[in-house]
Amino acid sequence: MKWRKFNGDLLNQPIVQAVENAIKRETEKGFRLKVCIGTDSQVKGHETEFATVIVFLREGHGGFMFIHNEKTTHQYSIKERMLVEVAKSIEIAYELCNLFTAYHVDMEVHADINTNPSFKSNDALKEAMGYILGMGFAFKAKPEAFASSSCANKVVN
């Protein structure tokens, strides 16, 4: 899996190592961190592109993120696509959760799913929430899910 910074620089190490280095660097500077993980997707013709982000928030001092993009030609229903987004976020959250525990960093998984029943993505809300909470992770949906609905949304081509 290739990860990059927002400026396009590739992370030339495994994501677990890059995240641990970022946590060490930021905490040594005295910042208290919170991490939000989210995925968004966009369908263009026969392709669906997913963007997963790991957003590091420095309490009161902005933040930064790591980004992973991938494309597929698989055709999804809207509900299936929402649940694939959640699965991608959970996959990386699970890979990193021991690090967050070891360094006392709070983490949330953000789902780009609307809490308003009049939106199509709402069909996936119960399953997504159950999936995320069942894994033991904190959960946010729209409009509070900025990692997926704002950050990942900006980097999905």
Where does the pLDDT of residue 1 fall: very low under 50, low under 70, confident under 90, or very high at 90 and above? confident
* Residue 11 pLDDT: 97
Phi then psi dihedrals of residue 45, to 5 deg: 65, -120
pLDDT above 90 (res 61)? yes
- What's the rounded Cα separation, in Å, for the pair 157 and 153? 9
* Residue 88 pLDDT: 97
Helix (H) or strand (E) holding 155: helix 153-155
- What's the rounded Cα separation, in Å, for the pair 38 and 144? 12
Hey, is 32 helix, strand or coil?
coil
Comparison of pLDDT for 74 and 118, the residue scoring more: 74
Hey, is 4 helix, strand or coil?
strand
Query: In total, how many domains does the chain have?
Result: 1
* Residue 19 pLDDT: 98
- What's the rounded Cα separation, in Å, for the pair 147 and 39? 7
Domain that holds residue 26: 4-155
pLDDT tens sequence across 80-132? 999 999 999 999 999 999 999 999 999 999 998 888 888 877 888 888 999 99
DSSP conformational letter for 10: B
Where does the pLDDT of residue 10 fall: very low under 50, low under 70, confident under 90, or very high at 90 and above? very high
pLDDT tens sequence across 17-54? 999 999 999 999 999 999 999 999 999 999 999 999 99
The CATH number of residue 70's host domain is 3.30.420
* Residue 119 pLDDT: 82
Residues 6+ apart with CB under 8 A from 142: 111, 112, 113, 114, 115, 116, 121, 149
DSSP calls for 13-76: S-HHHHHHHHHHHHHHTT--EEEEEEEEEEEETTEEEEEEEEEEEETTS-EEEEEEEEEE----
